[in-house]
Amino acid sequence: MAKTREEYTRANRVAWNEAASRHAAINNDELFEAFKNPDHVTFEDEILETLLRVGVKGKSVIQVCCNNGVETLSLRNMGASRCVGVDSAEEFLAHGRQMIEIAGAEDQVELIQSDVYDLPRDLEASFDIVLTTIGVLSWMPDLEAFFRILQGLLKPGGKLVMEEMHPILFMYEPGVDGDKSSIQHSYFDDHVWEETTGLDYYGGEEYESQPNFSFMHRLDAILMAGINSGMTLQSFKELDYDISFFCSDLEDSPTKPPLGYVMVMENGKS
């Protein structure tokens, strides 16, 4: 039985909060040490090149669905003047605030707990850049509304920078016991995935978790949702390397599909 948008996002918040301590056990010591360096940046490859090309220095930037804020803090280290990260999971944000304190960045980086569909109104039309990174879109039950929210955060002429796993990957299931990942779903399958095996994509631990819900959004739906919100497409590049830790063996497959993409859209509304 289908749930409301609020029911989906509430369930996912609970599931992500459950995962926070598991991610922290693997990553936090290293991250806390790394961010003592004011030049430390976690971005790599195409997304880093794209942010440098768009220009972060001196800009106001908001990262939507920022997790523990490592990328939000990286934006500050790249010279952004104001950095805001928004996420629904309080546990991840608590870890992020520890990192911000260690980095001495309390005056430049702010983390806000909020459902993405109910952001504070005072954030509207306040940012030069909106950033979303790997794995955000698959948690969004309402794609059109999500892009309207992103557009609404931008100043006129502001840029949306998006790094994402390619939706064609939703056709695949990972191999088991050394088997290769294989196509098992239609690209046009629009059902909701419900999982209860946890969200530990770093350690790979499976555990009995609260249910979480993810959604398949085709590439045409993603592009049109952005365009319909009032933004124009500036650049789009498909990636041939793994960015999502999902079906990673496909990176070396002789019949490799696109594994990710980076795109930039510009706010055309005044």
pLDDT value of position 270? 67
Query: pLDDT value at position 1?
Result: 65
pLDDT one-digit tens code per residue, 161-212? 999 999 999 999 999 888 999 999 999 998 899 999 988 877 777 888 999 9
Strand 109-113 relative to strand 82-87: parallel, antiparallel, unpaired?
Answer: parallel
Q: Give me the domain span that covers residue 222.
A: 5-267
pLDDT of residue 104: 96
pLDDT of residue 109: 97
59 neighbors 129 (Cβ within 8 angstroms): yes
Q: What is the DSSP string of the chain?
A: ----HHHHHHHHHHHHHHHHHHHHHHHHHHHHHHTTSTT-----HHHHHHHHHH--TT-EEEEES-TTSHHHHHHHHTT-SEEEEEES-HHHHHHHHHHHHHHT-TTTEEEEE--GGG--GGGTT-EEEEEE-TTSGGG-S-HHHHHHHHHHHEEEEEEEEEEEE-GGGGGEE--STTPPPEE-S-TT--PEEEE-S---TTT--------EEEE---HHHHHHHHHHTTEEEEEEEEESS--SSSSGGGGG-TTPPP-EEEEEEEE---
pLDDT score at 177: 82
Positions of the chain with pLDDT under 70: 1, 270
**How many domains are contained in the chain?**
1
pLDDT of 235 reads 98
- Angle among Cα 131, 172, 212 to the nearest 5 degrees reads 60
CATH of the domain at 157: 3.40.50.150
Token reading at 270:
């005044």
Nearest to 220 by CA among 211, 228, 212: 228
pLDDT of residue 201: 75
